Structure formats: C-alpha cells, structure tokens
C-alpha cells in the first residue's frame, strides 16, 4: 500500500473504506486489492482509530451495494446482450439456459464460493446477472458472502495488529497472508466440486444397480 493510500484511509476512515470497496466491487480498478484494504482497516481498529464492528459493517454495505448494482445492470440487460451477441460469443441460448437451470437447482454454493474468492468475486455477480438468475436466488448469496469475506479480512488485520509494522515493512508478508487465504478458497472450491462429482457418480451407480433395475421392473 502506498503512503498516500494509507493516509487517505487513516484520515477518512469509514468513508474511504466504503468508496474503495464499492468502486472495486463494480469493476473499477483500485491501486491495491480490497483484501489488503480490509486488513489495514482491521489494523486501524486494533490501534483504536476505527471501531471493528463499524469497519466490518461499512465493508459489508459497500460490497453488498456494489455487487448488486453490477448484478442488476446485467440482469436487466442480459437478454438484450445475449440476443445481440456476436457469433463468436461462446454462450448460446441453450447453454445459458442449462447454466441458469443448474445454478437454480443447486449451483448456489459455487456462486457463494466464487463470491468469496479474490479476482472472481465481481465476475460472479456479472455472470449470474447475465444468465438471468433470479434475485431471490442471488440476493441471499450476496448477503451472506458480503458478511463473510470482509469480516475475515478485517479480523485478520486486527489479529496481526501487534505485528503490523513488521508486515508493513516487509510487504511480501502481507501478500503471503493474502495468498494463503486465496489458496484456502481454491482448495475449498476443488473439494466441493470433487464431493459433488462423487455424489453424482454414486447416485448414477445406485440408479443402475441390479436391485434398482429389478425394483423398476
């Protein structure tokens, strides 16, 4: 984090957190990831410059409003975009229909995990809106994910507060903490996908078992 950004966040506090998180959630680039911003916000709460619950609530509100703005833009324009997409665009109407049905019938966990994962969080809102996933499905995911990931990073920043100066000097250490969190998220995604695939295989095996065939006959 640059000295200017540190001074900006320190001076403007909750307003700076809200603006920077909101801008990144709607797809506008920031000079540093929201994850580092929230960890720094946690450190400021450790120093007594911010109140920890208010920092989490500010990040939650900014994320929830930003991701829903992006979602509803593509939800309201998704049909128009898909009907006028170029021929080389990889998503046909049949493909988008299958994806929408899959998400509606149990793919919500995948959306939730992608909403927790850095670099894919904004794309999750965009894609679900584009695929016309209903608000009653997306909004609960947006709420729970907007509560979860800011809380984790702000609390991490608060917990490492006593050692923050060492982390700040060696910025690679902060990046390592962030990479560990990202790696954990990726492992969760892989585990969930593996478990779901195993369940599908077991279900198919049970449906094709001799006892099942005899019962059907």
| Per-residue model confidence as pLDDT tens digits over 40-94 | 899 899 988 899 999 999 999 999 999 999 899 988 887 776 666 655 455 555 5
Half-sphere exposure of 207 (CA within 13 A, CB side): 6
Half-sphere exposure of 77 (CA within 13 A, CB side): 10
d(CA 21, CA 153): 13
pLDDT value of residue 2: 59
Is the pLDDT at 14 greater than 50, yes or no? yes
Nearest-CA neighbor of 32 among 155, 153, 197? 153
Highest-pLDDT range among 1-5, 161-165, 189-193, 194-198: 161-165
| Per-residue model confidence as pLDDT tens digits over 131-179 | 788 888 889 989 998 998 889 889 988 988 887 766 554 455 555 565 5
- The domain locations on the chain are 3-203
215 is written with which tokens?
């019962």
pTM check: above 0.75: no
d(CA 185, CA 173): 19
Is the pLDDT at 34 greater than 70, yes or no? yes
Nearest-CA neighbor of 152 among 68, 66, 34? 34
∠ CA 213-193-132, rounded to 5°: 95
27 compared with 91, residue with greater pLDDT? 27
87 is written with which tokens?
């021929």
């Amino acid at each position: 984090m640059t000295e200017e950004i540190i001074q900006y966040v320190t001076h403007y506090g909750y307003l700076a957190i809200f603006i920077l998180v909101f801008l990144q959630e709607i797809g506008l680039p920031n000079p540093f990831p929201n994850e580092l911003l929230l960890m720094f916000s946690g450190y400021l709460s450790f120093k007594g410059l911010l109140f920890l619950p208010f920092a989490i609530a500010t990040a939650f509100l900014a994320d929830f409003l930003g991701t829903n703005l992006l979602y509803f833009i593509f939800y309201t324009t998704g049909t128009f975009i898909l009907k006028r997409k170029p021929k080389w665009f990889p998503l046909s109407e049949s493909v988008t229909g299958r994806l929408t049905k899959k998400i509606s019938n149990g793919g919500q966990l995948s959306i939730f995990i992608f909403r927790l994962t850095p670099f894919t969080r904004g794309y999750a809102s965009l894609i679900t809106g584009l695929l016309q996933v209903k608000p009653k499905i997306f909004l609960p995911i947006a709420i729970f994910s907007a509560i979860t990931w800011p809380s984790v990073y702000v609390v991490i920043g608060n917990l490492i507060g006593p050692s923050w100066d060492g982390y700040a000097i060696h910025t690679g250490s902060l990046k390592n903490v962030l990479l560990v969190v990202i790696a954990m998220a990726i492992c969760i995604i892989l585990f969930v996908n593996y478990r779901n695939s195993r369940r599908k295989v077991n279900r198919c095996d049970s449906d094709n078992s001799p006892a099942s065939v005899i019962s059907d006959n």
